[in-house]
Structure 1
Amino acid sequence: METVKTKDSAPGAATRPQRQRQSNELRKIFLKTGLIPSASGSSYLEFEPSPALAAARSTPKSLIPPSSALKLACTVHGPKPLPRSATFSPNLVLTTHVKYAPFAARKRKGHIRDASERDLGVHLETALRGVIVAERWPKSGLDITITIIEAEDDRWWGDAPDSHDAPWGMMNVLAGCITAASAAIADARIDCLDLVAGGVAAIVSDGDDAAPRLVLDCDPAEHWSILSACVVAYMPSRDEITELWLKGDGSKAVLSADDKRLGNEALLDGAVDAARGAHTVLAEAVRESAERYAGLALGGPAR
């Protein structure tokens, strides 16, 4: 396991895990649908643990894991009639709810949603609103609930508390929420324009003298500094973006001599490439869901 020394570290923390994947290499994704029978549609998503985390789990030397791997569950309820007290709506009313489990992050979460969870819900609703064919369900509602079981870290645990101010881990969480929600919506047999997948790209620097570089699907715990990051919700068949979230200033970053793109342009292209990679996993999960549904319709055993 490769490690690198840091200058802003807590006592007893001398090394951090280092990225061993290529810059354009994504982590493996596990995505499964139909795990909650009481819901109209459901899905479970999990990212592959980093080599440092896998090694720490197999041979634990500390009670503090070096990093975390995203795990979340999504449920879809509906379409269902709106309450009689609700105003008339000619389109489907979409409601998204994102909640961290109390143990999901290193800092324990409360039972009431905080600002970051509400922010994730708004971004997720924007990403899905451009995909669902809402006019087919007038006077109906659709509730999407995502529970974050394990969240991505915003920084390495050994860094000083003020060394990373931006919530970089939230961007990976949002990308996972988008992909999982799309799978659950397809599992609920709700008409959509396309399958929408989430992707993340970041411009990182691994030292004072290191040149900025573009990486896809970054783990914030593996990098010394993140200059900017971008997450998109992308529909490959239509080549459309339904949600874009850009954080940081990468407009002046010079990536390499042969790459003439501006930093923000490279970020957007990288996030789209990451979403295309996640879409292959999403399409396979939806295909398995369709086969399971066809087997149930024909009276066969559920698979």
Structure 2
Amino acid sequence: MTDRRRINGPSGGTSAPVYSKYLTKGPSDVDRPTRTRAPNVLRKMFLKTGVTPSASGSAYLELEASKNPKATSPGLATLSTSGLKLTCTVHGPRPLPKSAPFSPHIILTTHVKYAPFATRRRRGFVRDASERDLGVHLETALRGVIIGDRWPKSGVDVIITILEGEEDQWWGDDRGQGSTSAGEWGIMSVLSGCITVASAAIADAGIDCVDVVSGGVAAIVRESGNEEKPSSINLVLDPVPSEHQEILAACIVGYLPARDEITDLWAKGDIGNENQESASQNYAYEDLADNAVQAALGSYRVLVGALKEAADMKMR
């Protein structure tokens, strides 16, 4: 039955037309982007607090988009992946409803959602399994930071919107080249950014914490070789999935530098199996975790600098 009072949309899904001559090029016409940073160098990060005045605390985080140095023409083909852009708002602490049972600690609620336009494949309006997993990991990372017994029978909501998310592979892999890095690897970098931006928003809200927590990610990648340079397996910080031929394993941590504690650790991938090269057996999960901590320390410096800048502006 149709509704006469409004214009009904199409019954099925639609995709907007894209008028770009660069999208007509095949993967063979454009070189795969390569990592120009050193293995232990992070991408440039922009972090700012107080971007949403109506919220108790808010923050915005952005990682620069890596560009293909071999590309000669401008357009979508020059970008290896979308730069990570996250916005976080914190509401609370505020009293729980009278019908809620008594809680001696604060009730933390996390909500992570991709914007429909955040990735190349359009996201739905209802949270999927990956977004719920992000919310669970984020809650685990933040629960060990907030001093919860100072707000009995209170609640705080941490809401993160992903404006641009990390892609899992290069766009050319979807156009016939064949993906060798199958797997949701981009979600690791997204979770690392979510932990950092949520910590900044919580500090902006004035919620007492034992320390600020920062996220870091490290990965073991396989680089394709040629006649001049053979293929190799390396351990890198802050990986971009589209810049590597294959990702063997990755690890993300939520780290408290002042206490030297890890509040959340998530690792996946295979290391040292018999069907892999002998070079991969030189690394262990301990190496991944240690390098992820080093990446978290780099994010921690940016986080502390942003909070100090915000504090100086409020004191003026």
Name 1:175's counterpart in structure 2: 192
Partner of 2:134: 120
**Which one-letter code corresponds to 1:41 in the other structure?**
G
| AA partner of residue 216 (structure 1) | L
- Check whether the contact 2:253–2:296 (CA below 8 A) recurs between aligned residues: yes
1:83-139 per-position Cα deviation (integer Å, ceiling 9, x unaligned):
112111100000000000000001001111111100100000000001110111000
CA distance in 2, matches of 1:261, 1:289: 44
Matches within 5 A, 1:185-264: 185-207=202-224, 210-251=231-272, 262-264=283-285
CA-to-aligned-CA distance 1:153-174 (integer Å, 9 cap, x gap): 1011111566433210000000
Query: In 2, are the aligned partners of 1:78 and 1:141 still within 8 Å (CA)?
Result: yes
Residue among 278, 289, 298 paired with 2:310: 289
Q: Secondary structure at the match of 2:92?
A: strand
Query: Residue 251 of structure 1 contacts residue 264 of structure 1 at CA under 8 Å; is this kept in 2?
Result: no
Correspondences of 1:143-158 after superposition (within 5 Å): 143-158=157-172
Aligned length: 281
Tell me which amino acid in the other structure corresponds to 1:168.
Answer: W
Larger radius of gyration: 2
Corresponding residue of 1:269: 290
Q: What does residue 149 of structure 2 align with?
A: 135
SS class of match (1:226): strand
Does residue 117 of structure 2 align to residue 100 of structure 1? Answer: no
SS in 1 for 2:197: helix
Separation (CA, whole Å) in 2 of partners of 1:201 and 1:210: 20
The answer on 1:23 being equivalent to 2:44 is no
Contact 2:180 2:245 (8 Å CA) reproduced: no
Segment of structure 1 superposing worse, 62-71 or 228-237 = 62-71
Write the mapping of 1:59-70 to structure 2, written as runs, cut at 5 A: 59-62=73-76, 65-70=79-84
1:301 maps to what in 2?
A: none
* Inter-partner Cα distance in structure 2 for 1:193 and 1:39: 22
**Which residue type is aligned with residue 246 of structure 2?**
S
| Aligned counterpart for 2:68 among listed residues 52, 63, 77 | 52
In 2, Cα distance between equivalents of 1:114 and 1:99: 9
Q: Please, which runs of 5 or more residues in structure 2 have no aligned partner?
A: 1-23
Tell me how large the CA RMSD over aligned residues is.
2.2
Structure 2 distance, partners of 1:275, 1:255, is 26
| Amino acid across the alignment from 2:27 | A
CA distance in 2, matches of 1:81, 1:284: 32
Relative to structure 1, the CA distance from residue 134 to residue 12 in structure 2 (aligned partners, 3 Å threshold; closer, same or farther) is: same
For residue 194 of structure 1, what is the amino acid of its counterpart? Answer: D
TM-score calculated relative to the size of structure 2: 0.84
CA contact (8 A) 1:48 1:69 kept: yes
TM-score w.r.t. the length of structure 1 is 0.87
Per-residue deviation at 1:61?
Answer: 4.0
Q: Does 1:73 align with 2:87?
A: yes
Cα distance 1:264–1:103, how it changes in 2: closer, same or farther (>3 A)?
A: same
Residue equivalent to 2:59: 43
How far is the alpha carbon of 1:190 from its aligned partner? 0.6
Task: Identify if the C-alpha distance between structure 1 residues 262 and 164 changes in structure 2 by more than 3 Å, giving closer, same or farther.
Answer: closer
> Could you tell me how far apart the structure 2 residues matched to 1:255 and 1:162 are?
22
2:288, 2:237 → 1: CA distance?
9
SS in 2 for 1:76: strand
Distance in 1, matches of 2:156 and 2:25, equals 49
Q: Which residue of 2 aligns with 1:166?
A: 183
Percent of residue pairs identical: 58
Alpha-carbon shift at residue 11 of structure 1 (Å):
7.7
